[in-house]
Amino acid sequence: DKFADFAEVITKTLKYDRVLPMNTGAEAVETAIKLARRWGYERKNIPKDKAIIICVEGNFHGRTMACISLSDDPSSFAGYGPMLPGFVRVPFGDAKALAEVLKQHGKNVAGFLCEPIQGECGVNIPPPGYLKKVQALCKQHNVLYMSDEVQSGLGRTGK
């Protein structure tokens, strides 16, 4: 069994307390959504079945039911309805739009899910400072920030 060795290297390298490896990006996103919702109910005291996950337009997180429910691309979700509830979309790169949704729904928002760089239909890079603003908004509203870094994680961008 090599998991203990792997976990030690990853947690030390990334300065994390724990690691939960996944087989696919979609599985990782599904798990992040589940963890955020559970955290919202148990730690933030969101009323039962009222947890909201905010995501961004133009996203691609995978082909599972939760992932296509996040999507605004009809080619991803057409023919698979009904979609799963509890997701709200804001424009990618628009921190003001996120702030408005958090102002309106903040007490029930468990998490914000975003790709730092979108890559499904070309390469979409957010405006300078966007990710720092998002992180600050999440902290201000007690919302978990979840980053889907399949396109950009672990140095894939060269930075």
pLDDT of 53-62, one tens digit each? Answer: 999 999 999 9
Tens-place pLDDT, residues 135-151: 999 999 999 999 998 77
Residue 89 has pLDDT above 90, yes or no: yes
**With pLDDT > 90 as the criterion, what percentage of the chain qualifies?**
82
Alpha-helical segments (H) within 73-115: 74-77, 95-105
Mean pLDDT, rounded, for 92-98: 98
Distance CA 51, CA 119 (A): 28
Per-residue confidence (pLDDT) for residue 147, from 0 to 100: 93
Distance CA 144, CA 154 (A): 21
Strands (DSSP E) found in 6-143 = 52-56, 87-90, 109-114
Give rounded-to-5 percent helix, strand, coil for the chain.
45, 15, 45
CA dihedral 91, 95, 101, 106 (to 10 degrees): 140
